[in-house]
Amino acid sequence: MGHKDDYYNRAKQQGYRARSAYKLRQLDDAADVLGEGDAVVDLGAAPGGWLQVAAERVGDTGTVLGVDRQHIDPIDGVETLRGDLTEEATREEIHETVGEVDAVLSDMAPEMSGEYDLDHARSVHLARQALVVARELLAPGGDLVVKAFDGRDLDTLEADVEAAFEYVRTMRPKASREASSELYLVGKGRLRTDLRAGEELAVEIVDTGREGDGVAKVDGYTLFVPGASEGETVRVRIEDVKPRFGFAERVD
């Protein structure tokens, strides 16, 4: 489009570098991704509209790192890193710069060829890089916001995001241009485990919880098993998977 619309004018007036700042504000208002004191990584962050919003919302006690293959002019309270997210070296550098984070954001977009299927496939590829970073860096319970263009690979992308989070929402903020096929997948509540409801496995009860439930550890993840006692090895079915712990039922 390119003509100067309402959000463009508001961004100018309110000191945001890009009208896209309003997309993050709307996404965060609806999905509650950014909290005071949070550590946030923003991928594809240039020129920095999202970084400005993230810095406002996490406040002085939070940290924000912006990554882009293009230069980002400095922003108070924001660290930046220049690199291509499709390269492993960039992802390693991010890892070295921040520890665990509370939110991973990606507004990465490919250069548009005008060919719908190709642009869609490239955007899904970029979204997958963001998912890799999210899997590596997000603390249990952390959230992911990632842009993708709608199209045939979206369902598989959404399923892969869903597998790593408690649930996923598909969102189209008002500030996205009407003609745009872009949408945002919001993964809420990074899960610490690959265990899924319905799965069966044998576990050793290593402790007793406050409510008297047996406690098992699966690769460091805590499972509560009612009716099982310390020292027993029991076969269980996973009932509910939360970010930091889950519940299982004895099936032996």
Cβ at position 52, least distance to ligand SAM in Å = 8
Residue environment code for 124-149, b if the CB has 16+ CB neighbours within 10 A, otherwise e: bebbbbbbebbeebbbebbbbbbbbb
CB nearer to ligand SAM: pick between 73 and 219? 73
Candidate residues 33, 39, 41, 45; the one interacting with ligand SAM per rule CB under 6 A: 45
**Binding of residue 173 to ligand SAM (CB under 6 A):** no
**Binding of residue 126 to ligand SAM (CB under 6 A):** yes
CB nearer to ligand SAM: pick between 85 and 124? 85
Distance of CA 131 to the CA centre of its chain: 7
Give one DSSP letter per residue of 126-151, joined into a string: HHHHHHHHHHHHEEEEEEEEEEEE-S
Cβ at position 188, least distance to ligand SAM in Å = 20
Which residue, among 146, 248, 129, has the nearest Cα to 197 in the 3D structure?
248
**Tokens found for residue 204:** 């050793």
Cβ at position 177, least distance to ligand SAM in Å = 12
**Binding of residue 11 to ligand SAM (CB under 6 A):** no
Candidate residues 11, 40, 46, 175; the one interacting with ligand SAM per rule CB under 6 A: 46
H or E element, residue 211 = none
CA gap 75, 68 in Å, rounded? 14
Give one DSSP letter per residue of 144-206, joined into a string: EEEEEE-STTHHHHHHHHHHHEEEEEEE--TTS-TT--EEEEEEEEE-S----TT-EEEEEEE
CB nearer to ligand SAM: pick between 57 and 192? 57
Cβ at position 223, least distance to ligand SAM in Å = 38
CB nearer to ligand SAM: pick between 48 and 142? 48
For ligand SAM, how many residues bind (rule: CB under 6 A)? 21
Hey, which residues are catalytic here?
A: 147
**Residues in region 62-121 near ligand SAM by CB under 6 A:** 68-70, 84-86, 107-109
Binding site for ligand SAM (CB under 6 A): 17-18, 20-21, 44-50, 68-70, 84-86, 107-109, 126
